[in-house]
Structures are given as structure tokens and as C-alpha cells.
Structure 1
Amino acid sequence: MTAQTNWVPTSVDLEKPSAARLYDYLLGGNHNFAVDREFAAHLMKVEPNARKVAVNNRAFMRRVVLYLMERGIRQFLDLGSGIPTVGNVHEIAQEVDPETRVVYVDMEHVAVAHSRLLLNGNDRAAMVHADVTMPGIVLGDEQTRRLLDFDRPIGLLAVTIGHYILDDQDPYGVFAAYRAALAPGSYLALSHFTDDFAIYDGKRLLGEINQSQNTLCTRTREEVLRLFGDFELVPPGLVTTSQWHPDGGAAGEPGGRIAEEDALYAGVARKTGGQAP
């Protein structure tokens, strides 16, 4: 192991690409390895829009955080947060209000290691090393309970994580558990891969990605809608990443984009029954 990688946890498999490190590379990050970059090059031959998909998804996340901040949300639970690159949730939110609290959750060792380094000295943000498919562990974690007040509204972010929760892991039950833990006035934001769009060869793309350490599945629009449960979608409803409150000037969102090129459904929904914070 080189001097550049001697910080990597021994449990990290350097021989097989990781979805988190692939996403980091596509976003221009540097927390990835040769195997991830080689895989990305191959993936972009199969699907030339892969980098745009990642950039548009990241831009969606940024707009969501700002949208929720405007509505008084000051605490976030970010499921499957991935490797920290420029524009993390706490950076966006704490620039608006330094008192905002953020809990990140991931099980990818590189993501956890780098997040903890990044958050060192920030007592209003923390990384929880856990599997998001185990809501009880995530919600009961000491750091989660230290930072988040579940009697007040929370912004629950499930950006590109739902498609990693396979059918045999009960995705609807997992999302229901997280939704149930939230106070009225909370929001759920998510983006999710789909092969509803003919512009993509969904089966082929899925087969390529599933050669990494991670396995994902696509879902239809109706299946993605079920993840919101009885939360009320805010306008414009369930669309694609670049179509959700587009600002017209964000990187990766040039005018005239074809929505289907995003490859991801995206939406934000509010838990009713309470007043906005």
C-alpha cells in the first residue's frame, strides 16, 4: 500500500470498484482508486451520460437542502451520504445557519473515514457508521440522539440510496420506519434510479454497475412514489433531478435538458399534521 493510501482501513477492498468511490470520481473528487477510475471509464463508454447523472443528482441535493433551510429546517439526517466531496450537506446548511445539525450515515469504510476527518472539530455534525437498512440502529445511535431532536422537524435525505435497498431487504418497511420516527413538519427527499426511460438501456446499465461491490435495482415511478408513504409531495411532485426546482444556472443543468437523461426520479415530501418550524 502506498503512502497515499496507507490511511485506508484494512477492510477496504482495493481490487473491486465501489459505488461510493465511483460517485466521488464522477463528481471530480479524489477519494477513489485506480480500480474505480477504470470502472468509471468503462461505464461511460456504456452510458456517456453517467457523469451528468451524478452532477445533476448532486445539484438536486444542494437545492433540496436550501429549500428545506428556507422552510425552517435546521437538522438533517443524510442516509447513504457517501464520500465527502465539495458541497456536503453541513457545508451548505451551516453556511446559511451555523447552528444547523447534520448526521451522516454510511457503511462504506472510505466514506466513513473521510467524513470523520472532515468533521473533526465540528460539534454540530457527525458520521454514523451503520447500514441504513437497519433503522433502529441508525436512529438509536449515540451520535444521532446527541445531535437530532426527533420532537422537532427533520430533513431526511435519501438521495441515491433507495436503489441499493433490494426487495428482499424490505425497502418499504425501511422507509416506513424512518418516516414514523419523524415529527410532523419533517421532510423526506429522495432520488432513485429507474429504467422507465427508453433513452437508457436499463438492464445493461444495471448489469454493469452491479459488477462493483454494490448491487442496486431500478424501480418504476409508482414504486418510487410508495417510498414516500403518506407524506405529501411538494410541487412539482415526483420528477427527475434536473427538473426539481431547476435554477437554470447550476452546473450540469444547461437549458433544454431532456429530463429522461437524468435517469433518476426525484422528489420531496412533507409529513403533515404539524406546523412548519
Structure 2
Amino acid sequence: MTEIDTSKPHPARMYDWYLGGKDNYPVDEAMGKQMLALDPRVPVMARVNRAFMHRSTRWLAQQGVRQFLDIGTGIPTEPNLHQVAQRIAPDARVVYCDNDPIVLAHAAALLRGTEEGATEYLQADVRDPGAIVEGARKVLDFSRPVALSLIALLHFVSDEDGAHELVRRLLSELPSGSYLVLTHATADFTPEESKAATEKLKAAGVTLTLRAREGFTRFFEGLELVPPGVQVPHQWHPDLGEPVPGQDDGVIPGYGAVGRKP
């Protein structure tokens, strides 16, 4: 049985705390409160990311996409990606992937899909794309388009770990007509607060790489950006969902976009 390390904060559990969940520990709450002291919009950003996932999944399902690979799933928070997709397309197939043992403990919540579709959970790290592809192939047909979702994940993968190369490697396995879905934190709008937050997280053992717009856009090299292109997350197709309270109170420090593989 995999043990959960509660001695230091974990991004997935902090995210759960920001969303008002209960699957976190005192160390996660303590670090979350430190982040709030630096920038009180952090919980709003968490909800904005979640809302972006809902809208982008809804849009993809409306375009006919029926397969989704969600890496960095996080602790289940309804509605989950498969629920959004399968409401539009009951035959949608979804593979979730995360490296946090606590997500594995809650994986059953991610596997309750429609009878027509399929859901599966993989315990794997984005830094091991080979293992992810091997596991996902058991559920997804890689000869047909797949939506690769990396919501609020890549800012925890450093340049030294080859974040851009990892995305290219995953995309190389997917056929034409597949999509890349990303959100990512940035320091472009709040440089002082972001620098302080990065240093606090580093001291707690959490790596945070806040990429500028150019670094974010690089993830989409060779892809066709879906209009309206790179945006602050809540400004990407706001018509497809409900606004998050507080999202317009200043600039949300992040980017979101969807790109299609030609």
C-alpha cells in the first residue's frame, strides 16, 4: 500500500483546500494560508482553472471528440471531466492520470461513468510519458483523436525536467485532429507576489515554474490554436459556462488555451 506523505504540502491537496474540499492535511492548509497572504486570489484562480476545464471539455465534446486523457487529475471534485464529457457524449472514453497516492485512494469516484463510455485511472507521473501512453492505450484508441488535458499542472514541471519536451512526446503519440488543453500560472501580471510565492513553495519542497506568455505559447508549437487563442483562463469561451465569483477582480495570473494537432 502506498503511503501518503503528510509531512510536506502537496499541490493536489492544496488545490483541494482552495476549492473547499476536505481531502487535505494541516500542512496543506498552512501552506495554502501562506499563499493567501501573498495573493488572496489564489482560491479564485483554482476555481477559474476548474471552470476552464469544464468549458474546454464541453467545447471538445461538441466538436465530436470522444476520447480524453487527463494528466494531473487532482482529487475528484464534481463535476469531473468524464461527467462533463459524458453528459454531451455518453460514449466518451476518459483516462485519468496522477502521481499523488491520495488521488488513487479516491479513484473510484473517477470511474463511475456511463454504461456506453469508459473511465480508467492510471497511477503515473507526467515525467514518464511512456508509462502513461502504454496505460492509456488499453482504454483509448490512439488512431482516433484524443484530447490531452494538462490543467494547472505544467507549472510544477521545471525546464530542467523538460516540460516542453514532455508535452511534445505525448502529442507525438496522438493522431491528427487531437487537441492539447492547458492552463498555467504566470508571473506576468503579479511579479512581486509570484516571486514570493515561488520562494515559499520552494522552501517547502514544491517546485513552481511560472512561465511568461511566450513560454506558455511554446507548448502549442506546431498546433493550430483554437480561437480566441491564448487568454487569461476565464476569457476563453466564457459563453460555455457560468462565471466564477471574483474572477473579474483584477487580472487572474494565468493563461489558458486549446490547440488542435493538424
Query: TM-score, normalising length from structure 2?
Result: 0.92
Aligned positions of 1:100-111 closer than 5 A: 100-111=92-103
**Structure 1, unaligned runs of 5 or more:** 1-8, 273-277
The answer on whether the counterparts of 2:54 and 2:241 sit within 8 Å (CA) in structure 1 is no
Whether 1:223 aligns to 2:215 is yes
- The reply to whether residue 269 of structure 1 matches residue 259 of structure 2 is yes
Report the Cα offset of residue 55 of structure 1.
Answer: 0.7
- On the 8 A contact 1:240/1:265 being kept in 2, the answer is yes
Deviation at 1:118, TM superposition (A): 4.1
* Distance verdict in 2 for CA 1:83–1:187, change over 3 Å: same
In the TM superposition, what is the alpha-carbon distance from 1:120 to its structure 2 partner? Answer: 5.9
Match of residue 126 from structure 2: 132
| Code of the aligned partner of 2:137 | R
The 1:211/1:104 distance shift into structure 2, 3 A limit, reads farther
Q: Compute the RMSD of aligned alpha carbons.
A: 2.0
The residue type equivalent to 1:263 in the other structure is: P
Equivalent residue number for residue 245 of structure 1: 237
Q: CA shift at 1:224, angstroms? A: 0.9
Distance 1:121 1:195 in 2: 37
AA paired with 1:267? A
Matches within 5 A, 1:46-61: 46-61=38-53
Equivalent in 165, 182, 193 of residue 173 of structure 1: 165
1:207-226: CA deviations, max 9, x gaps? 22334453121111111111
Distance 1:79 1:249, change over 3 A: closer
Shift, 1:34, TM fit: 2.0
Confirm or deny that 1:71 pairs with 2:63: yes
1:43 alignment counterpart: 35
Q: One-letter code of the match for 1:131?
A: D
Unpaired segments ≥5 residues, structure 2: none
Give the match for residue 6 of structure 1. none
For normalisation by structure 1, the TM-score amounts to 0.88
Q: Which residue of 1 aligns with 2:23?
A: 31
Q: 1:95 aligns with which of 84, 87, 95?
A: 87
Q: How much has 1:248 moved relative to structure 2? A: 8.6
Q: 1:98 to 1:17 in 2, by over 3 A?
A: same
Cα distance in 2 for partners of 1:46, 1:112 equals 31
CA distance in 2, matches of 1:249, 1:181: 31
Q: Whole-Å Cα distance in 2 between the matches of residues 96 and 136 of structure 1?
A: 30
Change in Cα spacing, 1:40 to 1:254, as seen in structure 2 (3 Å) is: closer
Q: CA deviation at 1:159?
A: 0.8
Contact 2:76/2:109 (8 A) holds in 1: no
Task: Name the residue aligned to 2:184.
Answer: 192
Distance in 1 (alpha carbons) for counterparts of 2:157 and 2:258 = 19
**Who is 1:3 aligned against?**
none
Letter in 2 for 1:31: D
Amino acid at match of 2:189: F
- Checking the alignment, whether the CA contact within 8 Å between 2:234 and 2:247 is kept in structure 1 is no
Structure 1 residue 186, shift from structure 2 partner: 0.8
1:249-260 map, 5 Å: 250-253=242-245, 256-258=248-250, 260=251
How far apart, CA to CA, are the structure 2 residues paired with 1:41 and 1:62?
26
The 2-side partners of 1:47 and 1:30 are apart by 22
- Is it true that 1:15 corresponds to 2:7 in the alignment? yes
- Secondary structure of the structure 2 residue equivalent to 1:247: helix
